[in-house]
A and B are shown apart, each in its own frame.
Chain A
Amino acid sequence: DTGVSQDPRHKITKRGQNVTFRCDPISEHNRLYWYRQTLGQGPEFLTYFQNEAQLEKSRLLSDRFSAERPKGSFSTLEIQRTEQGDSAMYLCASTKETGYYGYTFGSGTRLTVV
Chain B
Amino acid sequence: AQTVTQSQPEMSVQEAETVTLSCTYDTSESDYYLFWYKQPPSRQMILVIRQEAYKQQNATENRFSVNFQKAAKSFSLKISDSQLGDAAMYFCLSQGSNFGNEKLTFGTGTRLTIIP
Do residues B101 and A56 form an inter-chain contact, with CB atoms below 8 A?
Answer: yes
Given A42-B91, A107-B44, A108-B44: A100 touches B52 (CB 8 Å cut-off): yes
Q: Which of B52, B97, B104, B107 is in CB contact (< 8 Å) with A103?
A: B104
Given A45-B104, A48-B102, A56-B103: A98 touches B43 (CB 8 Å cut-off): no
Do residues A42 and B47 form an inter-chain contact, with CB atoms below 8 A?
Answer: no
Do residues B43 and A107 form an inter-chain contact, with CB atoms below 8 A?
Answer: yes
Given A100-B50, A102-B35, A106-B44: A42 touches B100 (CB 8 Å cut-off): no
Q: Which of B35, B47, B103, B107 is in CB contact (< 8 Å) with A45?
A: B103
Q: How far is the CA of A106 from the CA of B43 in the complex (A)?
A: 9
CB distance from A114 to the nearest CB of B (A): 22
Do residues A41 and B108 form an inter-chain contact, with CB atoms below 8 A?
Answer: yes
CB distance from B88 to the nearest CB of A (A): 13
Do residues A42 and B106 form an inter-chain contact, with CB atoms below 8 A?
Answer: yes
Do residues B95 and A99 form an inter-chain contact, with CB atoms below 8 A?
Answer: yes
A interface residue count range (under 10 / 10 to 19 / 20 to 34 / 35 or more): 20 to 34
Q: How far is the CA of A93 from the CA of B95 in the complex (A)?
A: 14
Do residues A100 and B44 form an inter-chain contact, with CB atoms below 8 A?
Answer: no
Do residues A99 and B104 form an inter-chain contact, with CB atoms below 8 A?
Answer: yes
Q: How far is the CA of A91 from the CA of B103 in the complex (A)?
A: 14
Residues 1-36 of A, flagged 1 when their CB comes within 8 A of B and 0 if not, give: 001100000000000000000000000000101010
Do residues A33 and B44 form an inter-chain contact, with CB atoms below 8 A?
Answer: no
Do residues A43 and B106 form an inter-chain contact, with CB atoms below 8 A?
Answer: yes
Residues 94-114 of A, flagged 1 when their CB comes within 8 A of B and 0 if not, give: 000011111101111000000
Given A42-B106, A105-B44, A107-B43: A100 touches B33 (CB 8 Å cut-off): yes
A residues near B (Cβ < 8 Å) are 3-4, 31, 33, 35, 40-45, 48, 55-56, 91, 93, 98-103, 105-108
B residues near A (Cβ < 8 Å) are 4, 6, 33, 35, 37, 43-47, 50, 52, 91, 95, 97, 100-109
